[in-house]
Amino acid sequence: MIAHAENIPRGRHPLVQFIARWVLTTNHKEIGTLYLCLSFTLFMIAGAMAMLFRLELAQPGLQFVTANFYNQTVTLHGLIMVFGAVMPAFVGLANWMIPMMIGAPDMALPRLNNFSFWILPFAFFMLLSTLFMEGGAPNFGWTLYAPLSTTYGPPSTDFLIFGIHLMGISSVLGAINIIVTIFNLRAPGMTLMKMPLFVWTWLITAFLLIMVMPVLAGAVTMMLTDRHFGTSFFSAAGGGDPLLFQHVFWFFGHPEVYILILPGFGIASQIIPTFSRKKLFGYRSMVYATVSIAILSFIVWGHHMFATGMPLVAELFFMYATMLIAIPTGVKVFNWVATMWRGSLTFETPMLFALGFVVMFTIGGLSGLMLAIVPADFQYHDTFFVVAHLHYVLYPGAIFATMGAVYYWLPKWTGNMYNERLGKIHFWIAVVGLNVTFFPMHFVGLAGMPRRIVDYSLPFSDLNLVSSIGAGFLGLSQLLFLYIVVQTIRGGEKATDQVWEGAEGLEWTIPSPAPHHTFETPPHVE
């Protein structure tokens, strides 16, 4: 089942060998690397779009882009960040780490693993190619609301639909692979309640993926038939309902935002105990809290739609259900703090990112609680307050967590220590940049600035300029990250097998760098 060196054609040109190795690989570590490289590339592309529209928003008036192109960049920024940057990054980490954390030799379905990855570059090539099509790229926001995306969408919308189908297939196959691996390939003695939290959160995430990606596929298929085959799912003129799209989309969309967060919870739950030199506080309640968050995520989709004219009873239901989510989320934050309490803390780069994650995710979680209050939400909804909220949860929850994970496990992957000093500088530029970018957005939102507008009235000017300056720093800090990772891959101080003195888990029992094949004989877990 495992990739064999014989798969790689010998005696050919080195370039052919190189390509064949990466295209044909079924090794979980190589596929993990492929996912992470793709994710970072798309992260930079979607980030460049953010730089572009922050540049446009620095001053009132139209300076750099047209209104139509602005909408295209906003749409692609959202779609690529969600489906191209965050999800592949987490799948890449899962590929690398889950087999090593549960004592498995590889993923359970290696060829499927290869297939799920290689769908993605084509999906994103297709999505990005829409930028160069006549009529431009999709310009209706990543939420794809009908009828703006159906009747009024540009011709390139069909490429977006097909791209989303491909991404969905990739995600579902990847999720099946992860579930099968976790259920079947755990080392003897590794019971479910002994699994590292990262494995647990990914198991739950994988179930969410299998349940909701087909829902999104259904939504975009209905878009497609509305556009070309004479159906009227989302058109009132034909007996349909534009709101049906929003219900279906957010039934996918809300679990989706937890898909983008839960593995980050798992990463923080690995890093914080290591650098606190103390076991994770409340392991069981962490697992139960994650499961409850996942279950609740299916009954709160309506909180994205409070302004659509819902009946009072539905508004009350979704408000209460949403407020409930604060409880398990709070439990997680309290547990992390309790893990640190009376530990023996050091602040290497992974720990800084994990702490940055906890602090800023808490801010984002609290503003999420504010958004649950329906009467207040009528004022917050679709303003920059929401933009601030979602970036405070997703930037720390997904990006900081992923970067923390990369710093944490990079010595294990490459056998080299990264440059600690540069890593810390990267963290501080990113954390300042993030707060300078997104904190003022709370205020412009409260003052009345709607989101997704290319131009705004004069009272919002100062704070938008602050946001744009912060965004520049945030964008630049990622180049430093790239430099640090490349430098570590090329060499550096040799890492020990243990790497971090406080770290626990099977991945630290194997050599650094991790050999091509690990745990061909399963370890025994006490």
Partner 1 sequence: MTSITNRVQSFLILAVLWVFSQNASAQMFDMRRGVTDMSQRVQSLHHLIFGICVVVGAIVFIVMFYSIIAHRRSKHPEPAKFHESTAVEVVWTLIPTLILIGAAVPATMTLIDIEDNSDADLTVLITASQWKWHYQYVEAGIGFYSNLTTPLEQINNVDPKGEYYLLEVDNPLVLPTNLKVRFLTTSDDVIHSWWVPDFAVKQDAIPGFINEAWTRVNTPGVYRGQCTELCGMNHAFMPVVVEVRSEEDFLSWIDDQRLANELAGEAAVAARSRDWTMAELMPMGEDVFLTHCATCHQPDGMGQGIKYPALAGGVIPTGPVEAHLERVMNGLAETEMQAWAPQLSDLELAAVITYERNAWGNDTGDVVQPLTVYSAR
Residues 254-273 within binding reach of partner 1 (CB under 8 A): none
- Asked about 77 being catalytic, the answer comes back as yes
- List 451, 456, 468, 500, catalytic entry: 451
Neighbours of 498 (CB within 10 A): 14
Nearest distance in Å: CB 467, partner 1: 11
Which one of residues 6, 14, 15, 61 is an interface residue with partner 1 (CB under 8 A)? Answer: 61
Q: Bridge-partner residues for 416, per DSSP?
A: 494
Looking at 338, 422, 480, 525, which residue binds partner 1 (CB under 8 A)?
Answer: 338
Q: Judge contact between 502 and 273, C-beta under 8 A.
A: yes
Candidate list 29, 77, 278, 391; residue touching partner 1; CB under 8 A: 278
Residue from 373, 422, 489, 510 touching partner 1 (CB under 8 A): that is 373
DSSP 522: -
Minimum CB distance to partner 1 smaller for 99 or for 138: 138
**Residue number, 90 or 250, with CB nearest to partner 1:** 250
Element (H, E) at 313: helix 312-340
> Should residue 14 be labelled a site residue for partner 1 when binding is judged by CB under 8 A?
no
Rounded to a whole number of angstroms, the minimum distance from the CB of residue 94 to partner 1 is: 25
- Scanning residues 113 to 142, which ones bind partner 1 (CB under 8 A)? 134-136, 139-141
| 269: annotated active-site residue | yes
Measured from the CB atom, is 49 or 108 closer to partner 1?
49
Task: Pick out residues in 419-458 that bind partner 1 (CB under 8 A).
Answer: 424, 428, 431-432, 435-436, 440, 443, 446-448, 450-458
Closest CA to 113 of 177, 172, 171: 177
> How far is it, in rounded angstroms, from Cα 461 to Cα 36?
37
Show the tokens assigned to 520: 């061909």
Q: Does the active-site annotation cover 170?
A: yes
8 Å CB contact between 105 and 2: yes
Tokens representing residue 434 in the block = 């993030």
Q: Is 375 in the site for partner 1 (CB under 8 A)?
A: yes
The answer to whether 497 touches 508, Cβ cutoff 8 Å, is yes
Look up residue 153 and give its two tokens: 């969408």
* Residue 118 appears among annotated catalytic residues: no
Which one of the listed residues 329, 362, 402, 467 is annotated catalytic? 329
276 binds partner 1 (CB under 8 A): yes
| Active-site entry in 142, 336, 392, 408 | 142
Q: How many CB atoms lie within 10 A of CB 229?
A: 7
Residues numbered 385 to 424 that lie near partner 1 (CB under 8 A) are 424
In the complex, minimum distance from the CB of residue 2 to partner 1, in angstroms, rounded to a whole number:
36
Residue 345: C-alpha distances to residues 304, 406, 420 (Å): 40, 20, 16
Total site size for partner 1, rule CB under 8 A: 105
171 classed as catalytic: yes
Within 466-495, the residues that bind partner 1 by CB under 8 A are: 466
Task: Give me the catalytic one of 150, 205, 269, 339.
Answer: 269
Task: Judge whether 428 counts as a catalytic residue.
Answer: no
Tell the smallest beta-carbon distance from residue 177 to partner 1 (Å): 32
Nearest distance in Å: CB 443, partner 1 = 5
C-alpha dihedral sign at 6, 12, 18, 20? negative
Question: For tokens 């479910």, what's the residue?
Answer: 192
Cis amide linkage into residue 147, ω under 30° from 0: yes
The residue from 120, 137, 374, 514 that contacts partner 1 (CB under 8 A) is 374
- The radius of gyration of the chain's CA atoms, rounded to the nearest angstrom, is 23
Among 169, 280, 294, 503, binds partner 1 (CB under 8 A): 280
Q: Which of residues 227-256 bind partner 1 (CB under 8 A)?
A: 235-237, 241-243
Among 283, 392, 407, 409, binds partner 1 (CB under 8 A): 283
> What's the min distance (Å) between Cβ of 436 and partner 1?
7
Whole-angstrom Cα distance, residue 473 to residue 433? 5
The position carrying tokens 């993605």 is 120
CA angle, residues 78, 82, 85, in degrees to nearest 5: 110
* Catalytic position from the list 28, 332, 381, 389: 332
Q: What are phi and psi of 383, to 5 degrees?
A: -110, 180
- Scanning residues 493 to 522, which ones bind partner 1 (CB under 8 A)? none
327: its two tokens: 């409880």
Per-residue contact string for residues 293-332; x = within reach of partner 1 by CB under 8 A: --------------xxx--x--xx--xx--xx-xx--xx-
DSSP characters over 261-312: THHHHHHHHHHHHHHHTSPPTTHHHHHHHHHHHHHHGGG-GGGG-GGGT--H
Quote the tokens at residue 4.
Answer: 């064999």
68 to 87: interface string for partner 1, x by CB under 8 A:
x--x----------------
142 is catalytic: yes
Cα–Cα distances (Å) from 270 to 52, 194, 515, in that order, read 36, 13, 22
C-beta separation of 45 from 80 below 8 A? yes
Among 1, 48, 192, 376, binds partner 1 (CB under 8 A): 376
Is the Cβ of residue 180 or residue 504 nearer to partner 1 in the bound state?
A: 504
Contacts of 161 (CB under 8 A, 6+ apart): 220, 221, 223, 224
Binders of partner 1 in range 139-178 (CB under 8 A) = 139-141, 145, 147-148, 151-152, 154
46 with 81: CB under 8 angstroms? yes
The correct pick among 347, 420, 494, 516 for binding partner 1 (CB under 8 A) is: 347
Query: Which positions are annotated as active-site residues?
Result: 77, 106, 142, 170-171, 254, 256, 258, 269, 303-304, 329, 332, 451
